Amino acid sequence: MSLSQSIYTRVTGDATLTTLISTRIFPGVAPQQGTTGGGAYPYIVYNTISTTPTSHLTGDSTGSGGNVEDRSVVQFDVVGDVFATVRSVVDALRARLAGWNATGQGSREIQGAHLEGERDLHEPKDDGSDDLIFRVSLDFSIWNVDTS
């Protein structure tokens, strides 16, 4: 299982998050309004910003089975048209990912996750109104090992 699949499984496996966003969590980019799955708020988009093998003076750090541990920085953007709802999704996402540690997820072992930073952003809606779209971006470091 890829890191992206592990993230999707982790987020959609949480009852609080699925109550708030259903299955509106997208790797890369969200669908445009008017397309299947597009246009409904709130939603989450996530992207891997960087992946770095964990190294020590003696060489690469290895996880179980001798495989190299990676530290991946993943950005999560929570987007919605009501700020209070966006904050509710952010709080649930933080709770779900903080300290994540999982083995036995196919070929991906998650060895830990922690929040590195959070930013509040907003932009005008594209409909010409004065309404805003709110976005909270969170950067998580996720230590993971491909055990395949």
* CA 53/CA 124 separation, integer angstroms: 39
SS3 letters for the chain? CCHHHHHHHHHHCCHHHHHHHCCCEEECCCCCCCCCCCCCCCEEEEEEEEEEECEECCEECECHHHCEEEEEEEEEEEEECCHHHHHHHHHHHHHHHCCCCEEEECCEEEEEEEEEEEEEEEEECCCCCCCEEEEEEEEEEEEEEECC
- pTM score, whole prediction: 0.86
Is the pLDDT reported for residue 35 higher than 90?
no
Where are the chain's structural domains? 3-146
CATH of 3-146, one of 3.30.2000.10, 3.40.50.1980, 3.40.640.10, 3.40.605.10: 3.30.2000.10
| Angle 95-100-103 from CA coordinates, rounded to 5° | 150
| Averaged confidence pLDDT in the chain | 86
Instruction: Tell me the pLDDT tens digit for each residue of 103-119.
Output: 766 678 898 999 999 99
